[in-house]
Amino acid sequence: MEFFAYRDGNISNFIDNRTIDFRHDFKHTLQMHSSMVRRLSLERELEGHIGCVNTIAWNSKGTLLISGSDDTQINIWRHSDRKLLNSIETGHSSNIFCTKFVPETSDEIVVSGAGDAEVRVFNISCLSGGRAEEIQETAMTPYAHFQCHTRRVKKLAVEVGNPNVIWSASEDGTLRQHDLREGCSCPPAGSSNQECRSVLLDLRGAAKRSLAEPPKHLLQLKSCDINVTRPHLLLVGGSDAFARLYDRRMLPPMSSCRRKTSPPPCVNYFCPMHLSERGNSGLHLTHVTFSPNGEEILMSYSGEHVYLMDLNQDGRNARQYTCGDVVKHWSFSPALNGVELSPLVAVASERISSAKSYATVQSDKSRKLMEIAKICLEDEEQYCIGIEDREQYCYGIEACNEVLDGGCAIDSLMKHDCLCTRAALLLKRKWKNDAHMAVRDLNEARKINSSSFKELVYMSEALSQVSKYKEALDFAHAAQGLDSSNAEVAKMVESIRNELSAAEKNKKLNDVGSKSDPRAGGIISLSDILYRTEANSDASRDGPRSEREESDEEIELDFETSMSGDEGRDAEPNVLHGSLNLRVPKQTDSAREAGGSNRFCGSPSSSCQDDETIYQPEAVIDMKQRYAGHCNVGTDIKQASFLGQNGDYIASGSDDGRWFIWEKKTGRFIKMLLGDEAVVNCIQCHPFESVVATSGIDNTIKIWTPSASVPSMITGGSADSVSVGVEKAQVLMAMESNQQSLCQTREDIL
């Protein structure tokens, strides 16, 4: 927020100095300079759809914009005058979720994917696309029609410079490669001669509920992307917490969907460490994408935040972790990484080096930012008059982010101090997963000085907030050992002991209850039933139907669901009530003793496993930045995007009808814009200009340009004329509301 100057400086000075300080990326930087971003405002609403606009995309030159909607139409808009040129009746029988221009076709070939599980390709060269009053509304027959998916197609990908191949990701767990040179159609699902060998990735048994668990569940794909600079790299994300990077050159030959195959080995897994050990089946990705330079990836989670990762193509990433690292992440050790410094030794060793570094301008900036952060933490009234507690914590966190991630020249002593200060601010703010971020900071601080008293106290508090009471008690005892007379620490130890005792008592009661209730062992969630049915479907197909029915168990469930799909705005008027009979394959005793003959082997590092085989989890790449403030729960097509050719800013839609912009490097909040009456799902930056297109539940597309007279933190209504203090209050109010919504379920939101 606007406590300190922006990293890219004054735009006037930037332009004036272009002849002195030559930069090859001058135009790229100017496209999304902070002055441009803070002046973004609504310029035009494009009207032409009669349903939610679920997908938008620019062509390579930025002259055209394509959109797809619940009305099953594809609209093509001219950027120069914001006019609708063509409206194509696609013939899809369900919502369109993805559309693209096919590269190197003079923008005459477009493709769409929809909820009817179909991919349709259209040649629009016959459409005139003339004057605005001559809008072409045409029912077209696709020249290529692929019906090989069995569930909704959620994302399409194309390769720059390749007009022949289209990739489609579906919730059926497969990613298919459609080569237009080989054929323009395939048999519909269920046909007797269905041999469409287009499955590039079979991930029907690849989902992992945690890092330690072997992959065995259906991975419903929600998103995919092709790397622009290295098009052999393919990124996918779906119904678990892990994004996967594949090298297309190393994949096996494409296959049909008749037989489920082991998921191929991937180059890297990506997941924030604090999300890797959860057994939450509802946690999933809604969008994954590469950065413009192909070196980073962006991941947006449902019910979670947006995270930035390094690609780590060379295999040398300090953020890579394993299951063992996750255990160490929570555990107390007297000396971390074999280095232990007392506070006095640390101060003495840094005194000489810090004297020189603090003389720089950057270090002067660092000192001022640290002063801001500490004042926000200490809540001194002379600095924070009229500012709510959590608002000042946000300012303090952003000040620390600027010191740690903004390129400031700091020594290890200041880094340690800043990490501990940010951790303390996070623990006070208490947004979702703030305690996990505090643990990360404190572990990093312990690598510098593992015997800091306040660091041990903060770590104990952070672990208590995430309900790891046993580990919290270890750190509290360590802090008590450094200052045995401290009454606050003694109180903390007693409190944690009580919490731990209560947690153990509840666990014992639950264990006793489950053993005494004969039905408890058979209580499983609907998702568990569906996972088990999917995993056993291939094997159960092979046996005679009469034999399967004898060993099946039938469960009747009452259900309530929305008929309009998961992108609908009004759930209640369209709710469908009824009951559902599920026939679940029952595993016999002999099958259990045999180690589960129907078990699918999903480990990319091993063949079919028996009970004696120990699964070895793969290494995973951890996050390097988090972007918080929005809410992503209500829809599963919500995007997070890089803004500009340099990708210096991150944008995400939100369930509150707004979209948010952050600085990529530091996670600093830049601007909040009102973009929809309900939900903003899609955000696409123009390839070259300072223009952003957004869409969502509304049936219009919004075009945003830096046309506001003054920069501001918010836009919409009379926001540009209100005072800075009111702007800050509105931003924090919206963010606080979104944090509360993140803790609700998707059904509650709808």
257-270 pLDDT tens trace: 777 788 899 999 99
| β-pairing verdict for 640-643 and 649-653 | antiparallel
- The counts of H helices and E strands in the chain are 17, 34
The answer for 644, left when phi > 0, alpha when psi is -120 to 50, beta otherwise, is left
- What is the three-class DSSP state of 432? coil
Q: What is the pLDDT of residue 536?
A: 44
pLDDT (0 to 100) of residue 15 = 66
Average pLDDT of every residue of the chain: 80
Q: Is 47 left (phi over 0), alpha (psi -120 to 50) or beta?
A: beta
The pLDDT confidence band at residue 726, using thresholds 50, 70 and 90, is: confident
Amino acid in the structure at residue 477: H
3-state secondary structure of 95: coil
Confidence class for position 340, pLDDT limits 50, 70, 90 = very low
HSE toward the beta carbon, residue 262, CA cutoff 13 A: 15
pLDDT in the model for residue 332: 87
**CA–CA gap between residue 437 and residue 427 (Å, rounded):** 9
Distance between CA atoms of residues 478 and 124, nearest Å = 70
| The predicted structure's pLDDT at residue 724 | 74
Of 492-506, 660-674, 696-710, the one with minimum mean pLDDT is: 492-506
Looking at residue 18, the DSSP 8-state letter turns out to be G
Choice among 288-297, 311-320, 542-551, 573-582 with the minimum mean pLDDT: 542-551
Mean pLDDT computed over 414-426: 95
Structure token pair of residue 668: 């600093």
Residue 85 has a pLDDT of 94
What pLDDT score was predicted for residue 618?
A: 86
pLDDT at 555: 45
SS3 labels along 687-715? CCCCCEEEEECCCEEEEEECCCCCCCCEE
H or E, element range at 513 = helix 487-516
With contact defined as beta carbons under 8 Å apart, do 571 and 563 qualify? no
- Reading the block at residue 691, the tokens are 């223009």
**Inter-residue contact 418 to 373 (CB < 8 Å):** yes
pLDDT of residue 435 exceeding 50, the answer is: yes
Cβ atoms of 317 and 621 within 8 Å: the answer is yes
pLDDT at residue 665, rounded to an integer: 94
Please state the rounded mean pLDDT for residues 82-104.
Answer: 96
Which two three-digit tokens encode residue 37? 């971003």
125 C-beta neighbours (distance < 10 Å), count: 11
Tens of pLDDT, residue by residue over 368-408, are: 999 989 998 886 444 443 446 678 899 999 999 999 998 77
Q: CA distances (Å), 262 to each of 215, 236, 252, in order?
A: 10, 16, 11
What is the CB neighbour count within 10 angstroms for residue 595? Answer: 13
More confident residue, 333 or 387: 333
Which of these ranges, 264-273, 284-293, 322-331, 717-726, has the smallest mean pLDDT?
717-726
* pLDDT the model gives residue 277: 84
Residue 589's pLDDT is what? 44
Tens-digit pLDDT profile for residues 124-152:
988 765 444 456 677 889 989 999 899 99
Sign of CA dihedral 374, 380, 385, 388: positive
Tell me what pLDDT residue 315 has. 55
pLDDT band for position 192 (50/70/90)?
A: low
Q: Report the percent of the chain where pLDDT is more than 90.
A: 53
The predicted structure's pLDDT at residue 187: 65
232 token code pair: 């052999």
Q: What's the pLDDT tens digit per position in 230-253?
A: 999 999 999 999 999 999 999 998
* pLDDT score, position 639: 96
Q: Which two tokens stand for residue 503?
A: 């947690």
- CA dist 413 and 343 (Å) reads 10
With a cut of 80, say whether residue 704 has pLDDT above it: yes
Question: What's the confidence (pLDDT) of residue 608?
Answer: 39
Decide: residue 718, CB within 10 A, 0-12 exposed, 13-18 middle, 19+ buried.
exposed
pLDDT band at 314 (very low <50, low <70, confident <90, very high): low
Half-sphere exposure of 224 (CA within 13 A, CB side): 32
pLDDT at 439 over 80: yes
461 and 493 Cβ atoms separated by less than 8 Å: no
Among the listed ranges 109-118, 196-205, 597-606, which one has the minimum average pLDDT value?
Answer: 597-606
Identity of the residue numbered 24: H
CA distance 444 to 273: 14
pLDDT score at 709: 85
How far apart CA 196 and CA 192 sit, in angstroms, is 12
Sign of the CA dihedral 540, 545, 547, 550? positive
3-class secondary-structure state, position 564: coil
Distance CA 65, CA 75 (A): 8
| Amino acid making up residue 428 | K
Percent of the chain with pLDDT over 70: 72
Judged by phi (left if over 0) then psi (alpha if -120 to 50, else beta), residue 438 lies in alpha
- Is 692 strand, coil or helix? strand
**pLDDT of res. 719:** 47
Q: Report yes or no: 456 and 478 within 8 Å, Cβ to Cβ.
A: yes
Token pair listed for 336: 């971390």
For 603-613, write each residue's pLDDT tens digit.
434 433 444 46
Cα within 13 Å of Cα(497), Cβ side = 8
Instruction: Report how far apart, in Å, the C-alpha atoms of 288 and of each of 228, 635, 674 are.
Output: 14, 15, 24
Q: What distance in Å separates the CA atoms of residue 627 and residue 308, rounded to the nearest whole number?
A: 8
- Residue length, the chain? 750
The pLDDT of 298-326, averaged and rounded, is 86
Higher pLDDT, 643 or 581: 643
Q: Does residue 160 have a pLDDT over 70?
A: yes
pLDDT in tens, 547-602: 333 334 444 444 444 444 454 444 344 444 444 444 444 444 444 333 333 333 34
**Cβ neighbours of residue 680 under 8 Å, at least 6 residues apart?**
638, 653, 654, 657, 658, 659, 694, 695, 696
